[in-house]
Structure 1
Amino acid sequence: MTRIPHGTSGEPNPLRALDLDRLRRRTSMKWRTYPDDVLPLWVAEMDTPLAEPVVRALTDALALGDTGYPAGTAYAEALADFAEKRWGWTGLDVGRTAIVPDVMLGVVEMLRLVTGPGDAVVVNPPVYPPFFHFVAHMDRRVVQAPLGPDSRIDLGVLEECFRAAVAGGRRAAFLLCSPHNPTGTVHTAEELTAVARLADQYGVRVVADEIHAPLVVGDTDFVPYLSVPGGGRGLSLMSASKAWNLAGVKAALAVAGPESAADLALLPEEVGHGPSHLGAIAHTAALRDGTAWLDALLAGLDENRRLLAGLLARHLPAVAYRPGDATYLAWLDCRPLGLGDGPADVFLHRGRVALTCGIPFGSGGAGHVRLNLATSPEIITEAVRRMATALE
């Protein structure tokens, strides 16, 4: 693949567009869960206005009363075009896609296609907590293959887990988070090829959550799992949701590799009734016309990563932070502070900063917190000041 690099968009940094007073007028989860004296840097919502092309598309649809059921392949076509331009990937075949309500419900449906009740689903903790909740709720077993000390996939551990998962002739799946939440790790082509090789060796099916794919910064390359040698048996879930802050207008796409098209064809028709038509319209507009806005966002996030690293070095030097190459989430190792397994409670109650507790992320999460960087530099600065004050 030949990636077409992205650069300066000329658009203003959307992370600097909204002040705290305006943000507190929002009624979504991020801004309604805690009292007004708490700075919310926890759930994955961004403190940005919507990209103008998305606003136009939604406004036009509302003016027409175009609020029925989703239809057609415009979303998939926009994603395929974005994938080719952004990642140099020409292998996203619109004929091997299906619209699903959102990424996690899509993950559930893909796992239902390739595993049965009681089968194992391998995950790489610390990882997005809903992986555990959704898998358990659908009567599958979670098998943890922890990331290595470098926050990368430990192929030796993964092979051991694959071997155990298929013992006795059981089916198994690997739920891959790519890029990885919460560490921001971007898996390389070599790593993903090795994963595909192991999956083929042990008969494990790979389902890739690639929702953070557009949120890769700098010169790092995002590599779609389905694009690597051997990845054709995989299934991927993609969406514009995270990169353009569209969680409230739900829609996502399931994408099958050439060798898994028959599996995707078995997806029940009623699954496609769950996405929002307005969601599909918004996501399509984001992918087609919102790349300049995205580039401005990525530049702002890169600035925020550097800002956070400097603030922590100055005010909380014992906290370990390794800036990731993707997502807008920072994974902070607070164990040297001696605050126990759940330091998020201390920062909330003493500092009035809401962070995500690391414990639900599985093995390796205790003593950690996840901080949402998709906000203004001023809010990040105030949050770190409060966190430091909480230790006094």
Structure 2
Amino acid sequence: MDGMPNPLRRLTLEQLRRRTSMKWRTYPEDVLPLWVAEMDVPLAEPVAQAIRDAVALGDTGYPAGTAYAEALADFASKRWDWDGLAVERTAIVPDVMLGIVEMLKLVSGPGDPVVVNSPVYPPFYQFVGNMGRQVVEAELGADGRIDFEVLEDVFGRVRKGTARPAYLLCSPHNPTGAVHSAAELADVAALARTYGVRVVADEIHAPLMAAGATFVPYLSVPGAGTGLSLMSASKAWNLAGLKAAVAVAGPDAADDLARLPEEVGHGPSHVGVIAHTAALRDGGAWLDALLTGLDDNRRLLAQLLAEALPAVRYEPAQATYLAWLDCRALDLRGDPADVFLERGRVALNSGVPFGTGGAGFVRLNLATSPELITEAVRRMAAALD
């Protein structure tokens, strides 16, 4: 890490409570918030400097150019050994979820089905439903990975009676943290081609790999040429408040992306684009330090749960900074997230909004200090006494 300090150990609880974002202002001050996907880190210095430079210049106008896509292509080449991210087949979009909406508009129509692997990120249901598409679940296997028998069955069903079904692939998967292998993604592409299903991949967590895991871009696998992907620096560098993302088209989807309305490109923040570009170009050492800290936190959480809450099943994820905790063996009355909040004053995400397969689970955000994780588990155990 070249001496780079762990970003997760830099801020005190007092400093964090001065923040005005959703994570720290939704609950009272006696609650430890380990829920929404914000990290308890300071900005990477290259990102902070890029923002300061923009403000000093008054460079706060409308976004322009391809610097973000170029930085992403270079990052993909270095980190994922993928040279197939063609800048000419990209577009800047406001953020990943709004980008997903725009991509689905390009490849499906009102009333068409959109397949998701449940349990999955709750906004998939909200955004897809609000745009007049029908969400169809293809539940994950017991191992938290894609069940290809289920997926093929669902693809076969949605293909009947509709001309334009789509598959919203979460890669890496949120909340399980599964990293789809190249073989799995090639199987997805083959099934999609067989059944005429268009794939839109949410790859926002791609930079957040655990040690030993390797991210494979969906568009890099054979047969994925008609796919569309959404990528962003927002999760890995904690830039959700600086809106910007990149839509990437496979070689056979370039004409679809070309139909993206011009006004969509007006939605991203210019300062956001500057920040994301700086993160991808110059934030690698900071990211590596973060990834090491997250690996430490995964081990810590596994140890703490084994000691204090052995009935809670936890498999450290291959990616993301999220932990998917199976609380079903606790045999609680009601949602475990409610119990931990009301009795333990720890805010976690309920598994219920993640769809079928989520009940009885909670999602815990690991992107905080070891001290706060330790205190959270202590409170969760005390909540069951």
Bucket of the pairwise TM-score, normalised by the shorter protein: over 0.9
**Per-residue displacement from partner, 1:349-388 (whole Å, max 9, x unpaired)?**
0000000000000011000000000000000000000000
What is the DSSP-based 3-state SS (H/G/I as helix, E as strand, rest coil) of the residue aligned with 1:244? coil
What is the DSSP-based 3-state SS (H/G/I as helix, E as strand, rest coil) of the residue aligned with 1:168? coil
Match of 2:122 among 116, 120, 129: 129
- Number of the residue aligned with 2:154: 161
Whether the 8 Å CA contact 1:9–1:295 is kept in 2: the answer is no
Higher mean C-alpha displacement, 211-220 vs 240-249:
211-220
- Number of the residue aligned with 2:102: 109
Specify the code of the residue in structure 2 equivalent to 1:248. G
CA RMSD, Structure 1 to Structure 2 (Å): 0.6
What is the DSSP-based 3-state SS (H/G/I as helix, E as strand, rest coil) of the residue aligned with 1:12? coil
- Number of the residue aligned with 1:324: 317
Rounded to whole Å, the distance in 1 between the matches of 2:364 and 2:161 is 41
Q: How far apart are residue 170 of structure 1 and its match?
A: 2.6
What is the DSSP-based 3-state SS (H/G/I as helix, E as strand, rest coil) of the residue aligned with 2:161? helix
- Number of the residue aligned with 2:190: 197
Whether the 8 Å CA contact 2:113–2:166 is kept in 1: the answer is yes
Q: How far apart are residue 306 of structure 1 and its match?
A: 0.2
Query: Structure 2 unaligned runs (5+)?
Result: none
Q: How far apart are residue 339 of structure 1 and its match?
A: 1.4
- Number of the residue aligned with 1:3: none
Rounded to whole Å, the distance in 1 between the matches of 2:58 and 2:218 is 38
Q: How far apart are residue 220 of structure 1 and its match?
A: 1.2
- Number of the residue aligned with 2:221: 228
Rounded to whole Å, the distance in 1 between the matches of 2:147 and 2:3 is 40
Q: Normalized against structure 2, the TM-score is what?
A: 0.99
Q: How far apart are residue 173 of structure 1 and its match?
A: 0.4
Whether the 8 Å CA contact 1:341–1:366 is kept in 2: the answer is no
Rounded to whole Å, the distance in 2 between the matches of 1:385 and 1:169 is 51
Rounded to whole Å, the distance in 1 between the matches of 2:248 and 2:25 is 34
Rounded to whole Å, the distance in 2 between the matches of 1:129 and 1:10 is 38
- Number of the residue aligned with 1:49: 42
**Per-residue displacement from partner, 1:148-172 (whole Å, max 9, x unpaired)?**
0111100110001111111024310
Rounded to whole Å, the distance in 2 between the matches of 1:341 and 1:159 is 34
Q: How far apart are residue 209 of structure 1 and its match?
A: 0.1
1:284 aligns with 2:277: yes
1:306 aligns with 2:303: no
Listed as ranges, the matches of 1:1-150 within 5 Å are 8-150=1-143
Q: How far apart are residue 217 of structure 1 and its match?
A: 1.6
**Per-residue displacement from partner, 1:215-251 (whole Å, max 9, x unpaired)?**
0121211000000000111000000000000000000
Q: How far apart are residue 340 of structure 1 and its match?
A: 4.0
Rounded to whole Å, the distance in 2 between the matches of 1:70 and 1:135 is 27
What is the DSSP-based 3-state SS (H/G/I as helix, E as strand, rest coil) of the residue aligned with 2:318? coil
Q: How far apart are residue 175 of structure 1 and its match?
A: 0.1
Structure 1 ranges of 4+ moved more than 6 A: none
Rounded to whole Å, the distance in 2 between the matches of 1:71 and 1:104 is 21
Whether the 8 Å CA contact 1:353–1:386 is kept in 2: the answer is yes
Rounded to whole Å, the distance in 1 between the matches of 2:212 and 2:371 is 27
Whether the 8 Å CA contact 2:23–2:35 is kept in 1: the answer is yes
Rounded to whole Å, the distance in 2 between the matches of 1:341 and 1:113 is 41
Rounded to whole Å, the distance in 1 between the matches of 2:102 and 2:144 is 28
Rounded to whole Å, the distance in 1 between the matches of 2:58 and 2:118 is 44
Listed as ranges, the matches of 1:211-250 within 5 Å are 211-250=204-243
**Per-residue displacement from partner, 1:87-119 (whole Å, max 9, x unpaired)?**
000000000000000000000000000000010
- Number of the residue aligned with 2:379: 386
Higher mean C-alpha displacement, 213-222 vs 78-87:
213-222
**Per-residue displacement from partner, 1:261-287 (whole Å, max 9, x unpaired)?**
000000000000000000000000000
Q: How far apart are residue 10 of structure 1 and its match?
A: 2.7
Whether the 8 Å CA contact 1:341–1:359 is kept in 2: the answer is no
Specify the code of the residue in structure 1 equivalent to 2:316. P
Match of 2:369 among 351, 368, 376: 376
Whether the 8 Å CA contact 1:174–1:205 is kept in 2: the answer is yes
- Number of the residue aligned with 1:4: none
Rounded to whole Å, the distance in 1 between the matches of 2:250 and 2:370 is 40
Whether the 8 Å CA contact 2:112–2:162 is kept in 1: the answer is no
- Number of the residue aligned with 1:5: none
